[in-house]
Amino acid sequence: MMLFYELFICLLLWSGLFFLFVGTLGLIRLPDLYTRMHATSKCDTLGAGLILMAMMFLVGRNEVFKLLMIGVFIWSINPLITHVIGYMAYLRDGEHLPETFFMDCYDLPYPGKEMSGKEDVHA
């Protein structure tokens, strides 16, 4: 039984390392900011979560709560920061490749938004 427990922990650790490696590879190999940002945010969040889950199985009861709080922090902050970086790149007319799918959602009107352009955001 202990063998299956250790194999499960190894599977979680290696899966987390795989996703972190793929995110790093995406950061190096992908062509523009938006695709790099997508690769790193998704893979880093998942990879860190899997490694933290493996660590939760290895440590005592007091440390599980601390690791859970670290995981909640990572899972909440990483997508938020990624969105802020992407939005700031959009506001500053960040370069993107012509063949990259790019949907300009920020210029679409919605209730309560005046059509004043990009300069209405205070950054």
Q: Which residues, other chains included, contact 98 with Cβ-Cβ below 8 Å and sequence gap of 6+?
A: none
Dihedrals phi, psi of 103, to nearest 5 degrees: -105, 120
Closest CA to 45 of 83, 87, 84, 76: 76
Token representation of residue 13 = 């650790």
Residue with tokens 């902050």: 77
Write out pLDDT tens, residues 17-66: 999 999 999 999 988 888 888 888 989 999 999 999 999 999 988 899 99
Helix (H, G, I), strand (E, B) or coil at 105: coil
pLDDT, greater one: 33 or 13: 13
Write out pLDDT tens, residues 62-101: 899 999 999 999 999 998 999 888 888 877 876 767 766 6
